[in-house]
Structure 1
Amino acid sequence: MSLSRKRRKELIRLRKSADELWSQQAEVLERANAVAREAGHQAGVLTREEVVPRVREGYDHYVRPRVDATQQLAGDVRRTVVNDFLPGIGNAIGTVMSVGDVARDARVRAALSRIHLQKPVVVQKKTTGAATYVAVGLAIAAAVGVAYAVWQTFRADDELWVSEDENESSTSQED
């Protein structure tokens, strides 16, 4: 392939332009890498100086007290279970087992067989008298009186409450 002199010169100039562009792009990439490294360094410094202390302070202020309270509550529950609940269960199981042992004893069975059970005596209930109705009526009246007193105490009565702001604004408007 034979090229004219003019075309060769154009190609050589084009190659030089491409080489210059390539070197300029390499310089730009080097600068961009340097800026990125410096930005990473600054981000690390900012994190150590600003973010870490704030996170630590937030943890100490919000999380740690709740963790400590939870640990204390868990310790209290453990102590209650170990000191109160388990001994009570142990006592109950021991009592049930001792009752079972006593029930199996031949002497106890012999003593129970000697006992003759009597028929239960049925007691007739008395009818309600006038005093019962009077007492129920008085109890209802007392409950109604207490409910009325509570209602009177807690009802919203706007005329009874006058705020200080209203007194000041009404006196300043009258002047």
Structure 2
Amino acid sequence: MSLTRKRKKELRRLQNDATELWESQQVLVGHAADVAREAGRQLGNVGREQVLPVVQDTYNRRVAPTVDRGIKIGRQVMDDKVVPIVGGVVGTALSAWDIANAKRQGLSFSHQPAAPVKNGPGLGSVIAVILGVAAAAGVLYAAWQALRTDDELWVADDPLSAPDA
């Protein structure tokens, strides 16, 4: 296909205009990248200077006391309820175990067997497992107290607005 000189000239001018537009768009994209980079830097500064102190203050005033209260309640439950109950249960179980061993060996309870044979976990292991389970329950209770339906801890009351320059 043969193009006229006029058509070729128009096509060259169109190609030059497209190239010029492409170059100006590249400059514009470069400026947009610079603006986005600066906006990211400013956002980081605002986060460090404005948001982080508010979050830390809210955490220290609302979340930390709740967690501390939960831990204190967990310790109190451990000390006042779990340890005495476990001690009583373990003591009763050991007494029953001793009596059963004495009867099985045909001895009265007042006689001690010569050398008892250990067949499983000892008393310390049993107590450690029970106390570990109770401690885990206390930690879970503290976490539940901290994360329950206190919606105002997690959502800002007023909408965010642009900072004054």
Q: Which one has the bigger helix percentage?
A: 1
CA distance in 1, matches of 2:23, 2:90: 87
Match of 1:6 in 2: 6
CA distance in 2, matches of 1:62, 1:21: 57
Structure 1 residues 94 and 19, CA gap change in structure 2 (3 angstroms)? closer
Is 1:15–2:21 an aligned residue pair?
no
Identity percentage over the alignment? 38
CA distance in 1, matches of 2:66, 2:3: 84
Could you tell me which runs of 5 or more consecutive residues in structure 1 were left unpaired when the two chains were aligned: 107-175
| Higher RCO by CA contacts (8 Å cutoff, separation 6 or greater) | 2
CA distance in 1, matches of 2:26, 2:11: 22
Match of 1:59 in 2: 59
CA RMSD for the aligned pairs? Answer: 2.4
**What is the TM-score of this pair, normalised by structure 1?**
0.51
1:31 Cα shift? Answer: 1.0
1:70 Cα shift? Answer: 0.9
Structure 1 residues 12 and 79, CA gap change in structure 2 (3 angstroms)? same
CA distance in 1, matches of 2:97, 2:26: 91
Structure 1 residues 44 and 97, CA gap change in structure 2 (3 angstroms)? closer
The one-letter code matched in structure 2 to 1:88 is: G
1:8 Cα shift? Answer: 1.5
Could you tell me which runs of 5 or more consecutive residues in structure 2 were left unpaired when the two chains were aligned: 109-165
CA distance in 1, matches of 2:94, 2:28: 87
1:75 Cα shift? Answer: 1.3
Larger Rg: 1
CA distance in 2, matches of 1:96, 1:8: 109
SS of residue in 1 equivalent to 2:2? coil
Is 1:71–2:71 an aligned residue pair?
yes
Is 1:42–2:45 an aligned residue pair?
no
Task: Kindly report structure 1 stretches of 4+ aligned residues shifted beyond 2 Å.
Answer: 86-102
Q: Give the paired residue count.
A: 104
